[in-house]
Amino acid sequence: MEVRKPEFVTNLRCLVCGRIVAYGNVFTCPDCGVEGILDVQYDYDSIPNLQAVIPNRQFNHWRYRELLPVSPDISLPNLHVGWTPVYDVPRLAQTIGISKLFLKDDGRNPTNSFKDRASSIGVMKAQEFGFNIIACASTGNAASSLAGMSAAVGLRSFIFVPQRAPEPKVTQLLIFGATVIRVQGTYEQAFDLCREACEMFGWYNRNSGTNPFLVEGKKTAGLEIGEQFGSAIPDWVVVSVGDGCTISGIGKGLQEMKRLGFINRVPRLLGVQAEGSKPLMNAFFSGKDLVPSQPDTIADSIAVGTPRNWRRAIKQITKSNGTMIAVSDEEILEAMRLTSRLGGVFGEPAGVAGVAGLKKAITKGIVKPDESAVAVITGNGLKDIASAKKAVGQTIDIEPKLSTLEQNLKNISLI
Ligand SMILES: *Cc1c(COP(=O)(O)O)cnc(C)c1O
């Protein structure tokens, strides 16, 4: 059966050399050969007035289907992806010194991270292009998300993980039925092996650093922020950055919402990296090509030594008149406590790195106290208990006797 192409996608455009590439299963610009820079183009003028039709649609990210590269002939995954809640958190705002702060909790997605936005597109593209097997290399959220989305639509998934992949995340893969290949080596080696395997065995490659369609899924968080805030759009959108795909997608989504009239200005993007893994930030400030580094941070989801979407990320941050900042592991652990205790949202280290970066940016005068911001919490805290434990104190372990309890309570303040 002939599968129709996405209705409003015209073609792909290389962000480096400007070459227009015909729509199809392509990853690399045929002219300059650079990975991770093909950008999906739409015929915006033919898209119906979304402000009129969207309000009647279901509250998930498929409400923006005209702005997504999905074929009308492929059924949508049944899981609820996107339209994650936005919370007003005045106590957290006051503590970090900003007049208005919101958290957008993307840990509420089906496999508990932002990555579901991309994987839900990935499994549809695999089906559209006629694949039965989809693969990716990842230590964490991209992998669990792909495993979950594949289970939802009935695709087989092959996941390549490096040797040091944490056991809880590997278990999440196995329970969704993924075939997990543990590579005796680093993440970079797992990534390369996955790519070679996709070419050799004819599997679809979900790696979001190189696959041009996945960033479109990440775009939906930007579309949602535009619709959820409308004319009350905050001054800043704060996002943690590893590969750079997430912030690129959010930036593109916000630009589209301005173009379509949902918002009248694009907020400034604040990209936050970890001190121990900031090659993208270095490239942003130096204006030079990215220099790979050896990542060292507890925020494993943004521990990316060789980001593949750095050009796209820098373009979007610059276009929004935004900037970047880096935070230490201690600042991330503090943000984990603050975000949970004053905002009620428990994020993993990379999930709260944005809040840590915002706090620092306020201290440095980059973000002004009278401004407003929304921080995207990109992953749920239960994904990485070992790190969360580093951020917290101990339990009070006692025998079941009231007198012992009373004894112990003398040591802590009850008011
Ligand atoms: C992947 C991820 C990020 C960063 O996204 P990039 O596209 O790699 O920049 C941030 N937080 C969490 C929880 C993630 O899983």
Closest CA to 119 of 165, 163, 173: 173
Which segments of 204-309 does DSSP mark as H helices, in order? 214-229, 245-259, 279-286
User: Looking at ligand 1, which residue's alpha carbon is closest to its atom 1?
Assistant: 301
Which ligand 1 atom is the nearest neighbour of the CA of 347?
A: 13
Q: Give the number of the atom of ligand 1 that is nearest the alpha carbon of residue 307.
A: 8
Within a domain: 269: yes
Amino acid, res. 33? G
pLDDT in tens, the chain (415 residues): 689 999 999 999 999 999 999 999 998 899 988 877 899 999 999 999 999 999 999 999 999 999 999 999 999 999 999 999 999 999 999 999 999 999 999 999 999 999 999 999 999 999 999 999 999 998 789 999 999 999 999 999 999 988 877 788 889 999 999 999 999 987 788 889 999 999 999 999 998 778 999 999 999 999 999 999 999 999 999 999 999 999 999 999 999 999 999 999 999 999 999 999 999 999 999 999 999 999 999 998 898 888 989 999 999 999 999 999 999 999 999 999 999 999 999 999 999 999 999 999 999 999 999 999 999 999 999 988 889 999 998 899 999 999 999 998 888 876 5
CB distance 220 to 61 below 8 Å: yes
Residue 354 in domain: yes
- Please indicate, yes or no, if residue 278 is contained in any of the structural domains: yes
Sign of the Cα torsion 6, 239, 145, 187 reads positive
Helix/strand/coil for 275: coil
CA pair distance 122, 381, nearest whole angstrom: 25
**Cβ contacts of 281-285, under 8 Å, gap ≥ 24:** 281/241, 281/324, 281/325, 281/326, 283/310, 283/314, 284/314, 284/317, 284/323, 284/324, 285/324
Q: Any residues with CB less than 8 A from the CB of 178 and at least 6 apart, and which?
A: 143, 146, 147, 150, 157, 158, 159
Instruction: Report how far apart, in Å, the C-alpha atoms of 209 and of each of 183, 273, 350 are.
Output: 20, 17, 17
Whole-number Å distance, alpha carbon 378 to ligand 1 midpoint, is 7
Whether 169 is covered by a domain: the verdict is no
Q: Which residue carries 């900037």 as its tokens?
A: 323
Protein residue with its CA nearest to atom 2 in ligand 1: 301
DSSP state of 347: B
Residue located via tokens 């809640």: 85
Q: Is residue 315 part of a domain?
A: yes
Task: Please write down the HEC assignment for all residues of 164-176.
Answer: CCCHHHHHHHHHC
Confirm whether 347 is domain-assigned: yes
Which range marks the domain in which residue 270 is found?
86-112+233-391
Q: Which residue among 115, 220, 301 has the greatest number of ligand 1 atoms within 8 angstroms of its CB, and so is best to mutate?
A: 301
DSSP-derived 3-state class of residue 292: coil
What residues does ligand 1 touch, defined as CB less than 6 Å away? Answer: 113-115, 141, 240-246, 301-302, 304, 348, 350-351, 378-379
Ligand 1 centre and the CA of 412: distance in Å?
Answer: 38
Is 195 within the bounds of a domain? no
Ligand 1: nearest atom to the Cα of 249 = 7
Report the domain count for the chain.
Answer: 1
CB-based burial of residue 367 (10 Å sphere; 0-12 exposed, 13-18 middle, 19+ buried)? buried
CATH number, residue 105: 3.40.50.1100
**Distance from C-alpha of 219 to C-alpha of 82, rounded to nearest angstrom:** 11
184 occurs within a structural domain? no
